[in-house]
Amino acid sequence: MDVLEQLRQDYQRFPHQQSYHLYAEDVYFKDPLNEFRGLSRYQNMIGFITRWFQAIDLDLHAIEYVSPSQIHTRWTLNWVAPLPWKPAMSIPGRSELTLNDSGKICAHVDYWDCSRWAVVQQVFGVRSEP
């Protein structure tokens, strides 16, 4: 199965049953809150999301090869925060995935279309446009 199709399926079932075999052992990950290297740390981050967030839905809007070694995605991550008033949260964004010579994802960089502050405001019911 093509990497693009496997990623499409991963987005549909996120954060469960992810295709970690697609990632290099020393994968580099970065988003507005995290920056690290290593597949085990990547798996731990997904595990944290699984344990702490509720009603997780990763809506994939687009996925494409922009070069033989580069995949871009556009998505919106929705979840319910584990707080007594159960605020609905949402982050629109995009990912840039780089494949190494072995066809494994060696870099996964996420960009949010909103500020970290806009995400925090959602905890208190404040919605702002990106």
Please give the pLDDT value at position 129.
55
Please give the pLDDT value at position 125.
80
Instruction: State the Cα–Cα distance between residues 121 and 13, nearest whole angstrom.
Output: 27
Dump pLDDT digits (tens) for 70-120: 999 999 999 999 999 999 999 999 999 999 999 999 999 999 999 999 998
Please give the pLDDT value at position 107.
98
Q: Is the peptide bond before 15 cis (omega within 30 degrees of 0)?
A: yes
Specify the DSSP class assigned to residue 128. -
Boundaries of every domain in the chain: 3-122
| CATH class for the region spanning 3-122 | alpha beta
If we measure between CA atoms, which residue out of 33, 64, 62 comes closest to residue 48? Answer: 33
If we measure between CA atoms, which residue out of 99, 110, 100, 116 comes closest to residue 42? Answer: 110
Please give the pLDDT value at position 1.
66
User: Could you tell me which residue, 130 or 13, shows the higher pLDDT?
Assistant: 13
Containing H/E element for 8? Answer: helix 3-13
> 76 and 62 in contact (C-beta within 8 Å)?
no
Instruction: State the Cα–Cα distance between residues 78 and 109, nearest whole angstrom.
Output: 19
Instruction: State the Cα–Cα distance between residues 14 and 21, nearest whole angstrom.
Output: 15
Residue whose entry in the numeric block shows the structure tokens 């997904």: 46
Containing H/E element for 120? Answer: helix 116-122
For the chain, what is the largest distance between any 2 Cα atoms, rounded to a whole number of angstroms? 47
Dump pLDDT digits (tens) for 17-51: 999 999 999 999 999 999 999 999 999 999 999 99
